[in-house]
A and B are shown apart, each in its own frame.
Chain A
Amino acid sequence: MALTLGHHVFASINESAFNKFIGAFRLARPKYFFYACPPLGSGVPGVAFYVIPPLPIPGTNSGMPISVRILQASLDFTPTQPGLNLPPPLSLGPNQFALSVDLEVCFLCGVLQKAPDPAGNQDRRNPEGPGREPYHNDGRIQKECAKLSIWAIGHPVSTPNTHGGRDIGLHIDHLVIKEVGALEALLECYSETMLNTLLDTLRYPVEQFALGAFGSLSLADGPKIADNQLKVWADIS
């Protein structure tokens, strides 16, 4: 069966290529897989890990060092690969992808770092009043980590880019984290925001594919996910 379906050009990328891309992305930009306060990061800050502020301790201008590391991420384009067990209520439908991510979240207990103090609080603080030192956990320093397994489903998107073309990318629609009790909704909200932000950085201008092979390429249809591939159709002008 013809692939171009009435258009000049058809291009597809297999899920295996996407997973290779995730590996290449991690190798080139490890910081997007590791967000940490400096005591928990390793390597060059800003390169090996993305520097984030400590988790604020309410009532103080200090915070507890925190890190979030993406241990593993893999994509599966519809139809579902054998062995991928999406937790309910997730199920992979037409034109969808599944994402499985393992996260590790760590706190460095017993360590407090100066945290940015919102201006509103400084305005109300009495400079003559007694200073209140934050609680120091008796000097014991302990790294506490928890691993989270995340499953998500989403769909491909295309958005106009600044070059007059279109970027294609992926967007998560629904995400599930299991075995975190009452925190489930909070962590799912946070993780979905974080992963969609990360996916936004991975958008790819379709006209850049094989640049030079064609004079000018414009997206005519897609992106669509089917047959374990992300597919686009374009016309040459």
Chain B
Amino acid sequence: MDTTLAVSEPGVNVVLQKALALAHASKSASASWGPFEVGYSASVALSGGTATLQNAPANKLDLQGIHVAGSVSAYFTFDLGKILPTICIPPFQVCVSIPFIGTVCTPQVCIHWPSVTMGVNLPFAFNLDVSFGFRVDDLGSQWGIDLLIDPFSPRFDLSPMGPVIIAAIQAQVSATLGTIPLIGGLIAGLVNTVIGTLTPLVSGIIAAFGDLINLILSLLDLLNVSIPFTLLKFDKTQTFLPANVPLMGDAPVNMTLAVLQAQVLDRELVAEASLA
């Protein structure tokens, strides 16, 4: 081979950290769980992690401890009228029919439950370990040394979000009901009714948040299992001397990288090329 390029493990880490710094994305979705309509968006950013190289024939790059951090912004909308029972004060109304006057009832006030809209921000963070293989790809005018990620299943636990969601809704419902006159003594029970309706649904809501985070991760170039991530690119036409240097009218002196191959040797990514 005419030329050799080797990148050390620390060098690969520097290149990867530059790629990770660009790896951020967000996406949104919405769905209903019982009476609760939830619009939610998640943003994810990657950082950190340490790359190690596995020599040929494995030719692998292991990237351990990538820090995945972000947050889910969720907006809950629910009509308390679909959750809480109808409450009238007094509970019973007595009506009598009086000749020549008609029906006359005792006074009664029934409460119209309002709708509640509230937002909650739910930060999350977890670490991810992934493994890549190497492949040289013809990118048209360039050669690319590409990383092919092995299929992976990120493991993360969003269950701590459950109590946060419940507490936020509890506070919002309490505040909303607190503005309604005559029901002061009933508020605690009413809030419990709302939370009792919500609690069995929380795990499903959090699972949907997890699906959205997984979807975002799969959209990040570095972690996409379908599309190779180009770690290093080399122009096939290498201009060794540019045009007009040193004299005006001087033609460029170009050479072509005809063949490129790459493998891991001595824990270095070694690329060899032939010039034509």
Q: Is the CB of B8 within 8 A of A28?
A: no
B137 to chain A, nearest CB (A): 14
Q: Is the CB of B8 within 8 A of A9?
A: yes
Binds B, one of A64-72, A84-92, A208-216: A208-216
Q: Is the CB of B240 within 8 A of A8?
A: no
Q: Does B266 contact A (CB under 8 A)?
A: yes
Cβ contacts under 8 Å, B252 to chain A: 28
Q: Does B275 contact A (CB under 8 A)?
A: yes
Q: Does A25 contact B (CB under 8 A)?
A: yes
Q: Does A16 contact B (CB under 8 A)?
A: yes
Known: A46-B249, A201-B246. A7 touches B8 (CB 8 A): yes
Q: Which residue of A lies closest to B11 (CB)?
A: A8
Q: Is the CB of B250 within 8 A of A20?
A: no
Q: Is the CB of B268 within 8 A of A213?
A: no
Known: A4-B268, A8-B7, A9-B8. A16 touches B2 (CB 8 A): yes
Cβ contacts under 8 Å, A210 to chain B: 5, 232-235, 238
Q: How many A-B residue pairs have CB under 8 A?
A: 108
Cβ contacts under 8 Å, A229 to chain B: 4
Within 8 A of A (CB), among B219-266: 232-235, 238-241, 245-246, 249-255, 266
Q: Which residue from B2, B234, B266 sits with its C-beta under 8 Å from A213? A: B234
Q: Is the CB of B6 within 8 A of A20?
A: no
Q: Which residue of B lies closest to A4 (CB)?
A: B8
**Please, how many angstroms separate the alpha-carbon atoms of A2 and B6 in the complex?**
9
Q: Does B29 contact A (CB under 8 A)?
A: no
Q: Does B14 contact A (CB under 8 A)?
A: yes
Q: Does A101 contact B (CB under 8 A)?
A: no
**Please, how many angstroms separate the alpha-carbon atoms of A7 and B12 in the complex?**
11
- The interface on chain A, measured as residues whose beta carbon lies within 8 A of the other chain's beta carbons, has a size of 37
Q: Is the CB of A11 within 8 A of B268?
A: no
Q: Which residue from A1, A8, A12, A202 sits with its C-beta under 8 Å from B241? A: A202
Known: A2-B266, A3-B266, A236-B14. A204 touches B7 (CB 8 A): no
Cβ contacts under 8 Å, B234 to chain A: 210, 212-213
Q: Is the CB of A214 within 8 A of B2?
A: no
Q: Does B3 contact A (CB under 8 A)?
A: yes
Cβ contacts under 8 Å, A214 to chain B: 15, 232
The majority secondary structure among interface residues of chain B is strand
**Please, how many angstroms separate the alpha-carbon atoms of A208 and B254 in the complex?**
13
Q: Is the CB of A14 within 8 A of B14?
A: no
Mark interface residues in A7-30 (1 if CB within 8 Å of B CB, else 0): 111111110110011001100110
A19 to chain B, nearest CB (A): 10
- The interface on chain B, measured as residues whose beta carbon lies within 8 A of the other chain's beta carbons, has a size of 36
The majority secondary structure among interface residues of chain A is mixed
Q: Does B98 contact A (CB under 8 A)?
A: no
Q: Does B267 contact A (CB under 8 A)?
A: yes
Known: A21-B253, A24-B240. A212 touches B233 (CB 8 A): yes
Q: Does B94 contact A (CB under 8 A)?
A: no
Q: Does B112 contact A (CB under 8 A)?
A: no
**Please, how many angstroms separate the alpha-carbon atoms of A28 and B6 in the complex?**
30
Q: Which residue of B lies closest to A12 (CB)?
A: B4
Within 8 A of B (CB), among A171-217: 201-202, 204, 208-215
A46 to chain B, nearest CB (A): 7
Q: Does B101 contact A (CB under 8 A)?
A: no
Q: Does B270 contact A (CB under 8 A)?
A: yes
Within 8 A of A (CB), among B1-48: 1-8, 10-11, 14-15, 18
Q: Is the CB of B249 within 8 A of A28?
A: no
Known: A8-B11, A210-B232. A17 touches B3 (CB 8 A): yes
Known: A14-B3, A16-B2. A8 touches B10 (CB 8 A): yes
**Please, how many angstroms separate the alpha-carbon atoms of A8 and B14 in the complex?**
9
Q: Is the CB of A2 within 8 A of B267?
A: yes
Instruction: Kindly list 17 other residue pairs between chains A and B, CB separation below 8 angstroms, not including A28-B253, A214-B15.
Output: A3-B270, A4-B11, A7-B11, A8-B10, A8-B14, A9-B7, A11-B4, A12-B3, A16-B2, A17-B255, A28-B241, A204-B241, A208-B239, A209-B238, A210-B238, A212-B233, A236-B15
Q: List 26 A-B contacts (CB under 8 A).
A: A2-B268, A3-B4, A8-B8, A8-B11, A9-B5, A9-B7, A12-B3, A12-B4, A14-B4, A16-B2, A17-B2, A17-B255, A20-B2, A20-B255, A21-B253, A24-B240, A28-B252, A47-B249, A201-B246, A209-B5, A210-B234, A212-B234, A213-B233, A214-B232, A215-B15, A235-B11
Question: 4 tightest A-B contacts by CB?
Answer: A8-B11, A17-B2, A4-B8, A3-B6
Chain B residues within CB distance 8 Å of chain A? 1-8, 10-11, 14-15, 18, 232-235, 238-241, 245-246, 249-255, 266-268, 270, 275-276
